[in-house]
Amino acid sequence: MQSRINLFLLVIILSLAWVIFAGEAVIGAEEGVSPGGTEIGVEGYPYVAEITGDNVNMRSGPGTNYYRCGKLNQGVRVEVVGSQFSWSRIVPPEGSFSWISKQYVSINADEESIGTVTGNAVRVYAGSSELKPIHSTTVQLRLNRDDKVKLLSGEEGDYYKISPPVGSYLWVSTQYTRALGAIGEVAVAVEKPIVEEPKAEAEGVKKPTAPTVVQRPVADPSVEAKKLREYYALAKRMESEREKPIEQQDYSNIKKALVEMAEIGEAGKAARYSAFAVKQIERIELALAIGKELPLQESQLEGVKKQIEQAREAGLSKVPDMGKFAAMGKLQVSSIYGPGYYRVVDDSGKMLCYALPSGPASGLDMKELLGKKIGLVGAIEAYPQSGGALVRFTEIVKVD
């Protein structure tokens, strides 16, 4: 029963990991239909969309309960990489920023605009000019040791302002977007969002210097197109791998190729999509690792159960078979309760119970049995005077 439950949990974990990939990766959407239902003639995500209104809020998450991270005006183009409900997930436009804790970043002495992450699972928060870093609580992604971040000319308190790392996203309401076409077929205009400047707290306080945005590496169109084709092929291989039985799935070669592509700055979109796909593979690999661990844990559990059963049986084998006897032990005369009363003790002399002959045993001579191991046949009852038990025995037998 436990094995079935564990297998069921594993299937759920793998299904969730794949649903996330299928919903957010390039091959996951319905062919020719954008999330808003507009025919765009592309194979789903990612695609280029145009903002259809002015002062459209970008938010840190898919809902109005998430804080604003800037605004976009009509005509601005964005890259849409996924959707949730009525919200579109977009690549942060130029001018967007994120926050990261200073204690987990080491500044490169040779290039002060580059920081190296010194911890694992370090949170990166969506930045907003309307909020201080400590109140910017939406986690965009987590970085690990030796990951690089691009520092912007701004920091506050215990946080560095950084260019949004690959894999971080913002959100806009889908109703204010219009799908234009697939990535590579339609250009993404480089537009900065409207970012509200924080107000000075008091007269005479100098406003913070506008951040210098670190541009992403300029993509080579020929390299980008080639790498996008390679990425699509790798994505299909991922899908094929997913269809195999769990114990046969192996993403190592696919992951290696995606990691290499993600490090090619000239690959543009292909590099970003590859980095995103690597994270999806890591989720799947985690689920597979759990699946391999479960049988081992079950085997160890069975071993522990067997050891417990063996110990129980060994313990029972040491318990004497009382058979018909109410008590067994060495017989001694009781010096406390007077003539006719006896004590029964174990081999170490520890008191087991008191004994009193009854019925056929009342007239028996017990002298030859004193100090010997005997078995008593009779009834056991509580003996309040001693706080223990009393055996009223009708038969006494010498036990070898």
pLDDT at 295: 73
pLDDT at 378 exceeding the cut of 90: yes
Confidence of residue 332 (pLDDT cuts 50, 70, 90): very high
pLDDT at 201 exceeding the cut of 50: no
- Whether 95 and 78 have beta carbons less than 8 Å apart is answered as no
Backbone angles phi, psi at 165, to 5 degrees: -65, 160
213: Cβ contacts below 8 Å, ≥ 6 apart: 94, 95, 97, 152, 163, 192
pLDDT at 58 exceeding the cut of 80: yes
pLDDT at 273: 81
SS3 content of the chain, % helix, strand, coil (to 5): 30, 30, 40
Over the Cα atoms of the chain, what is R_g?
39
Confidence of residue 202 (pLDDT cuts 50, 70, 90): very low
Distance CA 275, CA 25 (A): 11
pLDDT at 382 exceeding the cut of 70: yes
CB count in 10 Å sphere of residue 194: 15
Distance CA 109, CA 120 (A): 22
Instruction: Single out the residue of 218, 281, 214, 215 nearest to residue 250, CA to CA.
Output: 281
Q: Greater confidence, 314 or 97? A: 97
pLDDT at 184 exceeding the cut of 80: no
The H or E element containing residue 67 is none
Confidence of residue 188 (pLDDT cuts 50, 70, 90): confident
pLDDT at 355 exceeding the cut of 90: yes
- Going by their DSSP bridges, the two strands 148-156 and 114-117 should be labelled as antiparallel
Q: pTM of this prediction?
A: 0.43
